[in-house]
Amino acid sequence: MPLPNDVTLNGVDYALVPGGYRKRNAPATAATNPRDVRRLTLGPFGRGQRQAFDFRLPTSDSRLVTAGWDSVGVGPCFDGQGIEPFPSVAPFGDLMLDTPSATNRAYGAIAGSNAFIGIGRRIYKSVPLSNATWANLTAAADLGTGFAISGLAYYQDDLLVLLSSGQDIRKFNTATNSLTVWRSGERGQVGVGYKGQLVYAPRLANAQEELRLSGTRWNGNAVTHLRYLDSPILTMALFNGRVAIATRTSLYLMGGEPYPGEPDDATVSADTSKAPEWRGDPEPIMTHGAFAADDDFVFLCSYRGRLYTWLAGRVAEYDDSQEQGRWLRMGPEGVACRGATVAGDWLIVAITSRYQEQAELWGFDGQGWWLLGRRSSPPAIWPCPIGGAGNRDLLVFRDQSTLYDLYRVTWRGETAATYAASGAWTSSLLDAGDPTRDKAWRAVGASFAQPAHRGKADSGDSVTIALEYSLDGGATWTTAASQSTTAAGTRTFALQSGFAAVPVSRHLQLRVSWSSVSDWAPVLVDVWAEFETLDNAPNRRRWELVIAAGDGRVRRDGQLDAQTGRQKIAALWDAWEARSTLAFKDIDHDAEPVEYGVRIEEIEESAAKPNDAGRWGESRVALTLAEV
């Protein structure tokens, strides 16, 4: 239907003064200068990985301590100031008689001059720790049919073999490989050596809270001391000079001293012998807050003065900084954990990640977590320390296979380096501090530098470096720059993009990858992106109108306007005061019947003859309308 007058606002039609109409776009918000090109710089990298979003906004060129997302095959150097391919890993096909699996656990220990691994019914022995070459594990002892190892505990230069099958604890002589019953009738499923004795739990039916502490009488006879905790005992580990004990509901610390007692002294009248005892009791230090699930506490490790475990689907650290200790979630999360160990000054944890449920091996260096290995199958399980045997630090089994992986995380020279053959560092999702706005990413780059060659200085190996970016959260990647280089003369260099078309997105991810690495690699020290923040608010219209108000005016349709000038003016001032959204039909409504929602931003009334304005409503009203 044609408009009765020039425009209609809030149901009232109005006539416009000739030349009193102007429509244009609403101005962009003034919060950001559209020509303000800034640089976001990432580095150093001491915080490790698995930070999904980078939340800092630099106000000028700066370097900020950065955590990236999952990045396989890279690790920190120069105390986290740089990144290089890491660690060295090599598969090894063994001839073991037992096959590790998710349900057939392997237990590692180092004693004497060898590393030992218990699987199923057998104890396997590595080459001597001093050997530079790895070889097949030797089946050093076979407990026989019906036995199942549940733990190895260091004990007076030898090992005590704990058996989940409920058999008596065996003593394994690390020099002769002989097996004997340690103490008749003494059984244990979990335990640790402590002060020349064994602290252990049989976990027998109807007595799963029972804690046993071995002792020796003054005459050399064995004695066992008993303590009882609040709920079934799950696992134990040495921690800060005591034994940490995790139960279904609590965490305890067990210390104290074994006392052998004393015999009667015949020269002293009425002297009586003193009984042996364990002087000290378990100290409860924390309650978990919930009954532990079946896969909780699959490991308990002491590392750099802290205690770590797997709890509620995530690595957790015992935090004693408060009066009441607590488990602090601080590591990678997953749907399952397959053990952990400390090797080469790293805490190593094998998990099945919650992201695509891939098998992952994570390492913690005391500052950040680093993804050391990943594959879809088979899962990495039961990492075991091997103490430098074969110039390696760590052995990680594969589920249902005698093929395992040997890791080197400690540098032992140019011929025994820690470099991975390839690796890639991936940033978090970068939003430059404002996830609500699009950014024009003008340039991206990466800098490499080292004050001295960390690898072989005269290496002829050509290493290829690539810088990539992603605008869709890592689903697809585009190469921004790449370079192949050798060790000579490449202590410092840089990669930088040369975009033909500037990419635009709210988030950006950057990835730097190394390939063809053997005995040297450039050290990444920072990654950067230059950007402009764009105003991506919806397009809006703006009108500047001058309305003619008066009595008895003839409308555009030829009819006499029934409303007086004062009524029309009052309606405009009422709408402005209410600050409500009004329905507005523009002068071109007949051709394009669109109704806009607007608000009155400004209003100004003027009258050539004030007396007429009061009597006849003869005024002009200037309006500024903004689309909402």
pLDDT of residue 31: 44
Mean pLDDT of 390-418: 97
Residues 6+ apart with CB under 8 A from 323: none
Mark whether 138 and 287 lie in a shared domain. yes
Mean pLDDT of 25-40: 66
Q: Say whether both 106 and 149 belong to one domain.
A: yes
Reference 84, options 362, 349, 429, 454; nearest CA is 454
For residue 485, count CB atoms less than 10 angstroms from its CB and return exposed for 0-12, middle for 13-18, buried for 19 or more.
middle
| One domain, residues 15 and 97 | no
Whether 2 is in a domain gets the answer: no
Q: Is residue 1 part of a domain?
A: no
Shared domain check, 80 and 94: no
Residues 465, 328 within the same domain: no
Q: Are 187 and 168 in contact (CB under 8 A)?
A: yes
- Tell me, what CATH number does 110's domain have? 2.130.10.10
Backbone CA torsion sign across 94, 151, 396, 232? positive
Sequence-separated (6 or more) residues with CB below 8 Å from residue 342 = 301, 302, 303, 348, 385
E strands along 387-492, which residues?
A: 394-398, 403-408, 423-426, 429-430, 439-448, 463-470, 478-485
Q: Do 347 and 453 fall within a single domain? A: no
Contacts of 87 (CB under 8 A, 6+ apart): 75, 363, 372, 407, 408, 409, 418, 420
Q: How many CB atoms lie within 10 A of CB 411?
A: 17
Cβ atoms of 583 and 513 closer than 8 Å: no
Domain limits for position 276: 88-416
pLDDT one-digit tens code per residue, 312-331: 999 999 988 776 778 999 98
Q: Give the pLDDT confidence of 608-627 residue by residue, as tens digits.
A: 776 655 555 678 999 999 98
Residue pointed to by tokens 């009765």: 4
CATH code of residue 544 = 2.40.30
| Model confidence at 119: pLDDT above 80 | yes
Residue spans of beta strands (DSSP E) within 275-321: 277-279, 283-287, 300-303, 306-311, 314-319
> From residue 375, how far is each of 75, 166, 359, 404, 559 by CA, in Å?
18, 36, 5, 13, 81
Same domain, 78 and 100: no
- CA angle, 552 then 558 then 559, to 5°: 50
Predicted pLDDT of residue 565:
86
Look at 268 and 61; give whichever has higher pLDDT.
268
C-alpha dist (Å) from residue 572 to 14, 296, 319, 547: 10, 69, 65, 10
| Domain end point (choices 416, 441, 463) | 416
**Domain presence at residue 301:** yes
Shared-domain flag, residues 529 and 544: no
Residue 313 and residue 396 in one domain = yes
Statement: residue 148 has pLDDT above 60: yes
Does 562 or 421 have the greater pLDDT score? Answer: 421
Contact 405, 84 (CB under 8 A): no
Q: What is the structure's pLDDT at 180?
A: 97
> Which helix (DSSP H) or strand (DSSP E) does residue 382 occupy?
strand 380-385
Report the alpha-carbon distance of residue 596 to residue 573 in Å, rounded: 19
Q: Are residues 139 and 276 in the same domain?
A: yes
Nearest to 518 by CA among 141, 183, 84: 84
* 442 and 559, same domain (yes or no): no
**In CATH, what number is assigned to the domain containing residue 486?**
2.60.120
User: How far apart are alpha carbons 153 and 8 in whole angstroms?
Assistant: 89
Domain boundary pick from 494, 517, 533: 533
Which is it for the CA torsion 38, 41, 47, 52, positive or negative?
positive
At 501, the pLDDT band (50, 70, 90 cuts) reads confident
Tokens of 77: 């150097």
Q: Is residue 285 part of a domain?
A: yes
Q: Which tokens hold the place of 93?
A: 């096909």
Same domain for 206 and 333, yes or no, is: yes
Q: How many domains does the chain have?
A: 3
Distance CA(254)–CA(198), nearest Å, equals 12
For residue 75, the Cα-to-chain-centroid distance in whole angstroms is: 14
Residue with token string 């397009």: 539
pLDDT value for 557: 80
Which residues fall within 8 angstroms of residue 133, CB to CB, at 6 or more apart?
127, 390, 391
Which one, of 526, 507, 441, lies nearest residue 480 by Cα?
Answer: 441
In a domain, residue 272? The reply is yes
pLDDT the model gives residue 186: 96
Domain presence at residue 343:
yes
Answer whether residue 31 is part of any domain: no
pLDDT of 32 strictly over 50 = no
Nearest Cα residue to 540 out of 624, 622, 596: 596
pLDDT computed for residue 58 by the predictor: 47
Determine the average pLDDT of the residues in 138-165: 96
Residue 32 within a domain: no
Mean pLDDT over each residue of the chain, to the nearest integer: 91
Tens of pLDDT, residues 333-382? 999 999 999 999 999 999 999 998 999 999 999 999 999 999 999 999 99
**pLDDT confidence of residue 611:** 61
pLDDT at 169 over 50: yes
CA 192/CA 178 separation, integer angstroms? 20
Rounded mean pLDDT, 266-273: 73
Q: Which of 506, 533, 560 is the last residue of a domain?
A: 533
Which token pair is 616? 């006849």
Tell me the pLDDT tens digit for each residue of 520-569.
Answer: 999 999 999 999 988 766 778 999 999 998 887 888 888 888 888 889 89
For residues 565-587, average pLDDT: 91
**What does the pLDDT look like over 56-92, one tens digit per residue?**
544 444 556 789 999 999 999 999 999 999 999 999 9
Q: What single string gives the DSSP state of each residue in 218-256?
A: TTS-EEEEEEE-SS-EEEEEEETTEEEEEESSEEEEE--
Strand order in the sheet with 509-515: 423-426, 509-515, 463-470, 478-485
